[in-house]
Amino acid sequence: MPTKSGIKYYHHGRFALSGGILPDAITAYQTYGDPSNPCIVFPTCYGGRLDNVGLLGQDYMIGPDKALDPTKYYIVTFALFSNGESSSPSNTPVPYNGPYFPRVTYEDNIRAQYAVLTKALNVKKVFCVVGFSMGAQQAYYWPVMYPDYIEKFIPICGSARTSPHNQCFLEGPKSALLASKDFNGGHYTSTPQFGIRAFGRVYSAWAYGQTWFRRKGYLYDGKYSDLNNWLHAEWEDGFLAIWDANDLLTLLETWQFGDVSKLDCLSTLDSSLTREGGSLTGGDGDLVGVLGRIKAKALIMPCKTDLYFPPEDSENEVAAMKNTDAKLVVIPSDWGHMAGGGSNDIDDKFIKDEIIKFLESA
C-alpha cells in the first residue's frame, strides 16, 4: 500500500464546541497516498477508530483493490471528537474530563477537520467526502458548511438529519448505560461492565436487517453456537475491549442531534459558514431548502433494510437536492445498517463498484 502516515494529532489550541470551550482541542487524523493527488476525506463512524481496533476501523475501504485507492487519491481519515483518539471525555485533562466534557455537534467536528485540511495539510479543495453511518452524516455537512470546498460527497447508510425514529432508538442503549449499577453518573473508576454490556446488546438489535436475523446470520456460518454467544463476542466485546462509557454517550449525542438544517450558533465563529446577508448556510430548520442549495455532486447509498437510516429518508433528501446532480443507489442487502461497514464481501463489492464509477465520472 502507498505511504500511510500513522496517526497524527492536530492541536487546535483553544477551541469552541457546542457545549463549551476546550483549552487545547485535538483532532486525530491519518493520511494515505500522495498529497499531490485529489483529496478524499473519510471520517469515522460510531464505534470507528483510526487504529482499527474495536468495532470498526477505516482500512476496510482503503487499498489499491478497494473503493478508495491510495495510488489514485490522497485519502485523509479523521477521528470524531469523543471516539477516544481525538479529544474525548476519556483523554481530556480536568476539569473537562469524564462527564464534564462539553457537548459536541457535527459542525464542531467539520470545523476542526477543515482546520486540519487547510492549516496542516494545505489541501486547497476536497475532491470527495465519503462516510458510513455517522461518517455519512458528516459527509452531508461538508457541502452545506463549505459549499465551494467540496466537489462530491458519498453518504453510505446515513442521513442529513437524524430522524425522530432514530433518536428514539438511541435512547435505548443510552438509557441502558445510564441506569446501570456500575455507571455511577459517569464517575466510575473501572470499566462499567454491566452498563457497557447492556449498551452493546441494545445497540446490536437494530444494526442488522430482520431478514438477516431470520436466516440466523448471527451464527456467521458456524462461528458462533447461538445468539447469546454472538452477542458476547461481537457486541459486548466490541465495546468493552476498547471503548470508554463517557465517550460512548458523548458521541451518541452528536449522532442523536445531527441536522444539517440547524447548524449550531457557535459555527458563526467561522465567517465562511454565512451566506450573503449574514445568515448561516444551514440554521433555519428548512431541510428541503438547505439541501436544495447544495452544489456538490452526490452519490447517496442507503441500504434497503437499514433500521437506523431507512432508504425512504434518502429518497426524500435526493428529491430535495435540485441544485446538483444527486444519484440514489440503494444497497440490495439484508445486512441492514451493517451492509455499509465492511461486513461482507458481496456488499463491499457492490459499494466499491458504485463508488469507483462515481469518482471517475465527469
pLDDT tens figures, 102-140: 999 999 999 999 999 999 999 999 999 999 999 999 999
Kindly state whether residue 23 falls inside one of the protein's structural domains: yes
Residue 239, domain CATH: 1.10.1740
Q: Give the chain's domain count.
A: 2
pLDDT in tens, 133-175: 999 999 999 999 999 999 999 999 999 999 999 999 999 999 9
Cα–Cα dist 90/109, whole Å: 17
Q: Which pLDDT score is estimated for 275?
A: 59
Report pLDDT for 54.
Answer: 76
Domain membership of residue 3 (yes or no) is: no
Same domain, 152 and 175: no
Domain edge (last residue) among 223, 254, 285: 254
User: Residue 56: what pLDDT?
Assistant: 85
- Is a pLDDT exceeding 90 seen at residue 31? yes
Mean pLDDT computed over every residue of the chain? 93
User: Given a cut of 60, is residue 53 above it in pLDDT?
Assistant: yes
Residues 317, 182: one domain?
A: no
Domain presence at residue 91: yes
* pLDDT at 282 > cutoff 90: no
pLDDT at 271: 60
Give the domain extent around 197. Answer: 167-254
d(CA 63, CA 311): 28
**Residues 203-213: pLDDT tens digits?**
998 899 889 99
pLDDT band at 274 (very low <50, low <70, confident <90, very high): low
Residue 321 falls inside a structural domain? yes
Instruction: Tell whether 284 is covered by a domain.
Output: yes
Choose the final residue of a domain: 195, 224, 254: 254
- Report the SS3 class of residue 273: helix
Residue 222 neighbours by CB distance under 10 Å: 6
Same-domain pairing of 192 and 302: no
C-alpha cell at 336: 441492514
Q: Are residues 220 and 317 in the same domain?
A: no
pLDDT grade, residue 277 (50/70/90)? Answer: low
Least confident of 53-67, 98-112, 187-201: 53-67
For residue 60, what is the domain's CATH number?
A: 3.40.50.1820
Q: Is the domain of 174 the same as that of 44?
A: no
- Report the C-alpha gap between 362 and 352 in whole angstroms: 18
149 and 276, same domain (yes or no)? yes
Residue 342: pLDDT above 60?
A: yes
pLDDT at residue 267 in the model: 52
- Residue 222 pLDDT: 87
Res. 280: pLDDT tops 80 = no
For range 329-345, the mean pLDDT: 95
Same domain (yes/no): 265, 119:
yes
Whether residue 299 sits in one domain with residue 157: yes
* Residues 158 and 171 both lie in one domain: no
Task: Please tell me whether residues 16 and 123 are part of one structural domain.
Answer: yes
Taking the C-alpha atoms of residue 257 and residue 244, their distance in angstroms, rounded to an integer, is: 21
Predicted confidence (pLDDT) at residue 77 exceeds the cutoff of 60: yes
- In this model, does residue 311 exceed pLDDT 60? yes
Residues 6+ apart with CB under 8 A from 276: none
User: Could you tell me if 268 and 349 lie in one domain?
Assistant: yes
Cβ-proximal residues to 268 (8 Å cutoff; 6+ apart), any chain: 274, 280
1 in a structural domain: no
Sign (positive/negative) of CA torsion 352, 354, 357, 359? negative
Give a yes or no: residue 2 inside a domain. no
**Is the predicted pLDDT of residue 272 greater than 80, yes or no?**
no
Same structural domain, 52 and 141: yes
- The answer, yes or no, to whether residue 2 has pLDDT greater than 60, is no
- Domain annotation covers residue 198: yes
Task: Name the domain boundary from 254, 286, 311.
Answer: 254
pLDDT for the residue numbered 269:
56
